[in-house]
Amino acid sequence: MTDPETLSVTIVDGYVDEPAHFGVPPYISTYPRYAAGALVDAGVPRDQITYHTIDRLRDQPDYWRDVDEADLMIYLGGMTVPGKYVGGTPAEPDEVRKLAWTATGTSLMGGPVKFGVGDENAGATETERQDLDFDFVAKGDVEAAVHDLVDSGLEGFNNRMRDLDEVSRWAQQGAFIVEQHPNHPAHLICELETSRGCAYRCSFCTEPLYGNPEFRPPPTVVGEVDALSDYGVKHFRIGRQADILAYGGDGEAPNPDAVRQLYSGIREVAPDLETLHLDNMNPITIVNWPEKSREGIRIIAEHNTPGDTAAFGLESADPVVQEENNLNVTAEECFEAVRIVNEAAGWRPGEDPADAPTFGDGAPRRLPKLLPGINLLHGLKGEREETYERNRAFLQRVYDEGYMLRRINIRQVMAFDGTDMSDTGAEIAHDHKQLFKRYKKRVREEIDNPMLERVAPPGTVLPDVHLEYHQDGTTFGRQLGTYPLLVGVPGERELGRTIDVAVVDHGYRSVTGVPYPLDLNAASMNELTAIPGIGDSTAGDIVVNRPYESIADADLGTAFDLSQFVTTRSLESAD
């Protein structure tokens, strides 16, 4: 028997992306935190637990010695929905195998990787279950496997699911591990689990493989936030659930009282939090229980931070696809849910919530509190050419009738064993590849661009944009939160800083911004010409005639209200 007090353990985070769980930086998923808590609960000292992300191992090869020398190496990862990522790159299968080959101690693999592995992390792919040369694969909950493996002296474990008492205990005991994340403390957002499992059985989705919904009581989630706050975390997303409105109920009907306990409790223990967002909300819940849903949505908008997104799994507006894939909401029902969220939560800080949804010249220049996002999935059974037009028409209707969507997520199916799509695989997605590309381009041009301008019109202020990378003379960054806007700022600025930005222009899924407020006495030509109404000639005049005592002193003669973007610092501090 191996004594837990003597164990050295290395946890490697290869990142996860599930229908109701996200863990690609700047996010940290629940898996490494729960696994660390399970280790401590089994008797492993905290100072003998090491945590690395896969990106850290790529960037700093010396850390591979921690994989090599650990008595127990735990790999956590798995992508069951495809995506594109800025903050980190999920581990590919060959990298995971290298971890197993490098580890000289016992190796354990777990997380959604148990559902299957493809040749790459991408849509239109088929997967199969593999052990990738690990000693053990957790086919139940990896945190339960971690606890039981250590408890057995590294001899083995029975695949099982953890219970509510265990997860509540491990969530708090493992909070310390966030201090070892490369993004800690300023640029890290913790994914919070309120429940897992789903009452519905869509053909493609892995979430029902966790069973029917099981909810963590509000005090246990609040206690986890309290513990994470003690370790410097200020950004949170309630993302690990199929439907936030159903939290604390029977898995289908809303329970506004439980939502209120959850959100007010989080605000009480973390009064200085900087981000509080969510992810999934089921539109069929809103349609079936509209008044209780409105109440729950209002509670969320009262406590959250601006720019929040409720992801709606419409998946397809085609009734044929809906029928063949057991999708639970029609296009008409989803439209009704979009309307209700816009009306209940589409207000902006500084205005009366009763005025929602608001946009245009009279709206405050901040992002709305909470808007729906639409998920559309292609390659499903029954898909035909008409499917693409029905999806596009649904999105066009939302725009034409004056509502807002925070984002439109268009992707192709991944087929996993245990789901109904496993028989069909990726065949339909492959056959429709070119059709998919043309349709996606059209949606981006005709709907995404004008919708983004409605949601974040010129002058909208985005506080605390974290600058992440340079490209073609532009610095790109994002706020922390659910589906944050990608912001391009003219010039190459110091990375890793946060700045406030005012939006000046719009792409399909990103915006251009300038530092807010922009000082006329110090702004570059690129920054000045990015502002609406200022061309090269006017920008040149501004630079030549500096400094200015006030904006009015510049006498720019533009029709646009420049006070939304610029200021003038005191002449003593001007360049």
Q: Is a pLDDT exceeding 90 seen at residue 565?
A: no
**Ranges 173-177, 249-253, 568-572: which has the least confidence:** 568-572
Average pLDDT over residues 458-475: 95
Using CA atoms, how far apart are residues 20 and 257, in angstroms rounded to an integer? 22
Mean pLDDT rounded to a whole number for the chain: 89
More confident: 54 or 574:
54
Average pLDDT over residues 440-444: 93
Average pLDDT over residues 388-393: 95
Cα 218 to Cα 281, 286, 487, distances in angstroms: 18, 22, 35
**Looking at residue 121, what is its pLDDT?**
47
**Looking at residue 213, what is its pLDDT?**
79
- Residues 17, 113 contacting (CB under 8 angstroms): no
pLDDT bracket for residue 390 (50, 70, 90): very high
Q: How far is CA 48 from the centre of its chain?
A: 31
Cα 492 to Cα 470, 476, 506, distances in angstroms: 6, 9, 19
**Looking at residue 126, what is its pLDDT?**
44
pLDDT bracket for residue 497 (50, 70, 90): very high
Question: Which residues are CB-contacts of 164 (< 8 A; sequence separation ≥ 6)?
Answer: 214, 216, 217, 220
pLDDT in tens, 81-114: 666 788 899 999 899 999 999 999 999 999 888 6
pLDDT in tens, 34-48: 999 999 999 999 999
Domains of the chain (ranges, CATH numbers): 1-187 (3.40.50), 306-457 (3.30.750.200), 460-567 (1.10.150.320)
Using CA atoms, how far apart are residues 170 and 220, in angstroms rounded to an integer? 11
Beta-strand pair 370-378/407-412: parallel
More confident: 552 or 388:
388
- Residues 508, 445 contacting (CB under 8 angstroms): yes
**Looking at residue 533, what is its pLDDT?**
81
**Looking at residue 203, what is its pLDDT?**
66
**Looking at residue 251, what is its pLDDT?**
81
H or E stretch at 386: helix 385-400
pLDDT in tens, 311-370: 998 989 999 998 888 888 999 999 999 999 999 999 999 999 999 999 988 889 999 999
Q: Is a pLDDT exceeding 60 seen at residue 125?
A: no
Q: Would you list the DSSP string of 267-292?
A: HHH-TT-SEEEE-B--HHHHHHSHHH
**Looking at residue 282, what is its pLDDT?**
92
**Looking at residue 117, what is its pLDDT?**
47
- For residue 566, what are the β-bridge partners? 518
Q: Is a pLDDT exceeding 90 seen at residue 403?
A: yes
pLDDT in tens, 548-557: 888 888 777 6
Average pLDDT over residues 188-197: 92
- Residues 235, 480 contacting (CB under 8 angstroms): yes
H or E stretch at 21: strand 21-22
Average pLDDT over residues 472-501: 94
**Looking at residue 19, what is its pLDDT?**
76
pLDDT in tens, 237-276: 998 888 999 999 888 899 999 999 999 999 999 999 999 9
Average pLDDT over residues 21-46: 96
- Residues 237, 27 contacting (CB under 8 angstroms): yes
Q: Would you tell me how many other CB atoms lie within 10 Å of the CB of residue 403?
A: 21
Q: Is a pLDDT exceeding 90 seen at residue 561?
A: no
Q: Is a pLDDT exceeding 50 seen at residue 119?
A: no
* The one-letter amino acid at 519: D
What's 298's DSSP letter? H
Task: Give percent of the chain above pLDDT 90.
Answer: 66
Q: Is a pLDDT exceeding 60 seen at residue 487?
A: yes
Average pLDDT over residues 137-155: 95
pLDDT bracket for residue 8 (50, 70, 90): very high
Average pLDDT over residues 56-65: 97
Tokens matching residue 275: 């981000």
pLDDT in tens, 200-249: 666 666 666 777 778 999 999 999 999 999 999 999 999 888 899 999 98
Q: Is a pLDDT exceeding 60 seen at residue 120?
A: no
